[in-house]
Amino acid sequence: MRSQRTYLDWNATAPVLESVRDAMVEVLDEVPGNASSVHQHGQKARAVVERARRSIAAAVGAQPQGVVITGGATESNNQVLRHHVRTTDNPRIVSTAVEHPSVIEVVEQLDQQGVNTEIWPVDRRGRLDMQWLSRRLDDEVTLVSVMWANNETGNVHDIPGIVEQLHEAGALVHVDATQALGRIDIDFDEAGVDYMTLSFHKMGGPKGVGATVVREGLKVSALYAGGHQERGRRPGTENVVAVAGADAAAEAVVQRREQWSEMLREHRRAFVDALHQESSGLELRGDRDAQLPNTVNAAFEGVDGEDLLMALDLEGISASSGSACTAGSLEPSHVILAMGYDEADARRSVRFSFGPTTKREELVEAARRIAEVADRLRQMDAQWR
Ligand code: PMP
């Protein structure tokens, strides 16, 4: 195995930023208090949490009082959807066919409990069918859950345009911005979003900390009972160390997001050019006109995605597919299936995702090795036929 591994799975999780690690270590060493305690130890911990709230708000263009700090985007997505159903007469929820399981599976559960739900389809490139939406808008939809950017294809949805259309029809909009944070410009207030959910571990923060952002005038209730933290919206003693990490990550987004986006866009171009140059039978998936600057979803003709990922792992390259392991067998990605690919075709999809500390030369070299491995697997497969 090569000693220098190349990590191309940032959409699964990202390496922790140095500033994040430093902030967490400092709090771990020096802030032992409980943020709910009134004494000075408690006040210091409270200050960490409140600073993070302001940084998170600044990173997404929202107001600090609307930020509820949670244990990640899975929790936040559950919180928004379940709150809506609990507090709405005749809830009618639309979510897209390409949402993360932390939205899709909640919507499925709610549907089984009798809530009216519908799935908003996408086309072959993973673009949302806007005509479908226009037809549905007479139907008294109360909430639409739509991600800002997709974790598998990297597709970026036109959230300001969608929000405008939905607000005219009287629906609320929940946006899962987990993959968009730190990669593209997202502005909660400017886009007019009602609920936004975030996670910090995709862009250099620690795992297990996220946020639910709520528009002024709207409410979000706690998922469970047991405490008054986060003004009753997220009970449980705050994980002050992780929150300090989220603060540093959000601060990095404020300071470096533009520079990161530009650099990632150039890296992506170099990686895709090299892939095109070196590979045969390459197909890039998703909407090439609106994609995250750090994500490439690729398929190689005649090469199974899982076989490719395993061979790449041995070569020192970590990447992923959107496949889920259900009852011991690999299910192809629901996102690629929703785009109209059949199962065999969907199984060929492989996702490469990178971030600000990935080197351009590393990406170009990885593209060369990916093409080489894909060719080898294709030849082996042909020999076995
Ligand atoms: N939404 C999206 C779009 C994601 O990519 C992820 C992480 N894979 C999540 C939600 C879940 O986030 P977390 O890991 O913080 O629960």
Which structure tokens are listed for 100? 């993360």
> Which of 148, 202, 203, 207 best tests ligand 1's pocket when mutated (most atoms within 8 Å of CB)?
202
How many Å apart are CA 18 and CA 205, to the nearest integer?
A: 10
CA atoms within 13 A on the CB side of 119: 17
Q: Is residue 376 part of a domain?
A: yes
Q: Which pLDDT score is estimated for 139?
A: 76
State the distance from the centre of ligand 1 to the C-alpha of 307, rounded, in angstroms.
Answer: 25
pLDDT at 1 over 50: no
Q: Which pLDDT score is estimated for 328?
A: 59
Which structure tokens are listed for 351? 């996702």
Q: Is residue 214 part of a domain?
A: yes
State whether 262 and 145 are in the same domain. no
Which of 223, 253, 283 terminates a domain? The answer is: 253
Residue nearest atom 5 in ligand 1 by C-alpha distance: 151
State whether 370 and 307 are in the same domain. yes
Query: How would residue 239 be classed by pLDDT, with cut points 50, 70 and 90?
Result: very high
Contact indicator for 222, 235 with CB cutoff of 8 Å:
yes
For residues 367-373, give the mean pLDDT.
Answer: 97
pLDDT at 50 over 80: yes
How many Å apart are CA 277 and CA 363, to the nearest integer?
A: 13
pLDDT at 206 over 80: yes
State whether 134 and 277 are in the same domain. no
> Which of 9, 151, 207, 209 best tests ligand 1's pocket when mutated (most atoms within 8 Å of CB)?
151
Angle at 200 (CA atoms; ends 148, 210), nearest 5 degrees: 85
pLDDT tens readout for residues 133-144: 999 887 799 999
State whether 206 and 236 are in the same domain. yes
State whether 143 and 197 are in the same domain. yes
Q: Is residue 226 part of a domain?
A: yes
CATH of the domain at 180: 3.40.640.10
State the distance from the centre of ligand 1 to the C-alpha of 13, rounded, in angstroms.
Answer: 9
Q: Which pLDDT score is estimated for 143?
A: 98
For residues 198-220, give the mean pLDDT.
Answer: 98
- Domain of residue 208: give its range: 18-253
> Which of 178, 212, 294 best tests ligand 1's pocket when mutated (most atoms within 8 Å of CB)?
178
pLDDT at 220 over 80: yes
Atom of ligand 1 nearest to the CA of 99: 3
State whether 24 and 152 are in the same domain. yes
Number of structural domains the chain divides into: 2
Q: What share of the chain is helix, strand, coil (3-state, %, to 5)?
A: 45, 15, 40
Percent of residues, the chain, with pLDDT higher than 90 = 92
State the distance from the centre of ligand 1 to the C-alpha of 71, rounded, in angstroms.
Answer: 11
Q: Is residue 181 part of a domain?
A: yes
For residues 155-163, give the mean pLDDT.
Answer: 98
pLDDT at 244 over 70: yes
pTM above 0.85, yes or no: yes
State whether 48 and 166 are in the same domain. yes
How many Å apart are CA 370 and CA 275, to the nearest integer?
A: 8
Match 């300090």 to its residue by tokens: 244
For the chain, give the mean pLDDT.
95
Name the residue among 89, 119, 87 with its Cα closest to residue 103: 119
How many Å apart are CA 165 and CA 137, to the nearest integer?
A: 9
94: which strand partners?
118, 144
Residue nearest atom 10 in ligand 1 by C-alpha distance: 73
State in Å, rounded, how far the first CA of the chain is from the last one.
Answer: 29
Residue nearest atom 7 in ligand 1 by C-alpha distance: 12
CATH of the domain at 270: 3.90.1150.10
pLDDT tens readout for residues 97-113: 999 999 999 999 999 99
State whether 355 and 380 are in the same domain. yes
How many Å apart are CA 185 and CA 354, to the nearest integer?
A: 17
Q: In sequence order, which residues have a C-beta less than 8 Å from that of residue 204 and are 6 or more positions away?
A: 14, 15, 16, 17, 20, 182, 249, 252, 355, 356
Which of 197, 222, 253 terminates a domain? The answer is: 253
State whether 212 and 310 are in the same domain. no
State whether 305 and 324 are in the same domain. yes
Q: Is residue 10 part of a domain?
A: yes
Residues with catalytic roles: 325
State whether 215 and 323 are in the same domain. no
Pocket of ligand 1 (CB under 6 A): 72-74, 100, 102, 147, 151, 176, 178-179, 199, 210
State the distance from the centre of ligand 1 to the C-alpha of 73, rounded, in angstroms.
Answer: 5
Contact indicator for 348, 299 with CB cutoff of 8 Å:
yes
Q: Is residue 1 part of a domain?
A: no
Q: Is residue 101 part of a domain?
A: yes
State whether 173 and 265 are in the same domain. no
For residues 183-189, give the mean pLDDT.
Answer: 98
Which of 236, 253, 270 terminates a domain? The answer is: 253
